[in-house]
Structures are given as C-alpha cells and as structure tokens.
Structure 1
C-alpha cells in the first residue's frame, strides 16, 4: 500500500532521481530521514524497479533510431518465440520492445550507429528469425519528447 507521500515521492524520483533526500524534503513535507526510509522501502518492494541515467539527446541524435513493427508466424512454437523474446531483451540495440494488439505483434525501438549497423541487426535478428513473418521499419527523424514517466495520483495509492 502506498500513501500520498509515497506517490509524491515516486513522481519526484521519476522527474529527477538525482535529488538528495534533503532536496526532496523541500518539495515533500517529510524529513530527509523519513524520505530516505521511504525510498529504501520503495526499492525493496519493487515500486522503484531501477534508477537509470538517460543519455543527452546530443548522443541519441547521433544514432539511427528505428521503430520496427513485427508480425510473427501464427503457428510459431512457444519455445522459439520465447527464445526470440529473450534475444531481443539481451540486445543493446533494442531500447524498447512491446508486445501489442492489432495487425502487428511487436513494436521495437532500436538504436544503431548507422544504416549499415541497422541492416546487420535487421538481417541477423529479424529476417533470419524463423518466428518473424514480416517486419516494417520507420526511422525516427526527430525526437520531440522522451520522458519515460508515469504520473501517479491518489488512485494509484491503493495498489
């Protein structure tokens, strides 16, 4: 169970996880030690799954980023599909991988150094994979927003 302080703390950490407990206490009416205890509990319970740094857009803009829509064979063996999933999760090029509903089965956001590296990725990881029926790629021209944050409110406090 979360209370409103936990929700405020989770939102604040999503906005900037570099803030100290003292800095967080300036916006959340709790003592720094109470904030530190809550953060420890939120990490231990998995409410905060990880703390990461996002590379500046000047680095991301140097990459060729691709949004890849993947359709899988309907009768693919479960173990082959699971191996494909695990492989995608292990690849550094894959930034985001979602199983989706609709005409496509998966959406992948991949980042490669250039078109040659993308072609190797697509040929070796998608075209050569027996569970992939087809894939279609769109390339990112410009990043307008990249904020992987889920704004929480009191409705989220009850679990």
Structure 2
C-alpha cells in the first residue's frame, strides 16, 4: 500500500493537533481560542487535516481497570510459513478479536507478530490463547509476557518531528 506524500504542517496545524490529541471533545470555538485563530479558519484547518488523512478518527479513552480489564499481555507469535496467505489469515483473524489491542508484524525476534492483549484475568487469557489464538492456521509458537505496570501509556503522537 503506497502512502500519500507527507503534508507540510505549520506551527498552528501542530498546535491544533496537539490540542485535539489532548482533548478530542473540544468545541471548535474552544480549539480556536487555544490556538489563536478565529473559529472559521480553525474549522477549515481541522477539515483540511481530516481530508489529508492526518486526523483519522476521534475516540473516547476508557479506564480498563474500572471495567475489570486488569491483565495485559504482550504475546509473541511464531508462524510456520512466511507466505502472504498465512499472514493474511492470521491478521484477519486477530483483527476480529476485541481483546487484541494491537498487532504488529515484527523483525529481530524469533517471533513474527507481537500482540498486545487485554482481558479481565488469567482464565480469560488462557481461554483466548488456547481456544482461539493457537487454533489459527500457521501459529506454531506463542510466548507470553505479562505487564506488571504501565510506565508510559501515551496515545498522542510526538509532533516535534513534523
């Protein structure tokens, strides 16, 4: 998949993005005040950032612990064959598991994929692993590590490079 060319952002664009990453519920008026624009030009810039694909979507971040989701696992997955059909099957399957928060195709490890999984407890993890993940065609190895504490949990992207 070819990526569009990078969009050149100015200081105000970066400020808009920083404010929206911090609080996606800001009204256009509040956002305009915070970035030093009047509402119309601010809204135009937000729409341009959306059209350029820089703003992908707005979400609400939930507190996992308060919902009883207390076990986070980082799961390394090894595949039997490195073929497009094996990878496509695996990726489509795990994309359908709501417990999988992130899935990365990786290099530099014995594993092919790294999953971030969140579940209520070890029983739920065992069920996910044994009844679903290990039954995906091509999965030959699984190595699980459990998160003891989140040290950095930052959904916002660093804008100092753009």
Give the TM-score range, shorter chain. 0.7 to 0.9
97, 110, 134: which is aligned to 1:91? 97
Q: How does 1:63-102 map to 2 (within 5 A)?
A: 63-73=70-80, 75-102=81-108
Corresponding position: 1:149 with 2:156: yes
Provide the C-alpha distance between the structure 2 equivalents of 1:144 and 1:60, rounded to a whole number of angstroms: 20
1:21 corresponds to which residue? 28
5+ long unaligned stretches in structure 1: none
Superposed displacement of residue 122, structure 1:
0.6
Provide the C-alpha distance between the structure 1 equivalents of 2:152 and 2:82, rounded to a whole number of angstroms: 36
Superposed displacement of residue 76, structure 1:
4.2
Is the 8 Å Cα contact of residues 68 and 120 (structure 2) preserved in structure 1? no
Q: How does 1:19-58 map to 2 (within 5 A)?
A: 19-58=26-65
Is the 8 Å Cα contact of residues 76 and 131 (structure 1) preserved in structure 2? no
2:142 corresponds to which residue? 135
Please list the CA deviations of residues 85-106 of structure 1 after superposition, one character each: whole Å capped at 9, or x if unmatched: 0111121010011111111221
Ranked by relative contact order (alpha carbons within 8 Å, sequence separation 6 or more), the top structure is 1
Equivalent residue pairs, number: 154
Superposed displacement of residue 60, structure 1:
5.9
- Where 2:21 maps in the other structure, the secondary structure is helix
112, 116, 120: which is aligned to 2:119? 112
- Where 1:38 maps in the other structure, the secondary structure is helix
- More deviation, 42-51/136-145: 136-145
Dislocated runs of 4+, deviation >3 Å: none
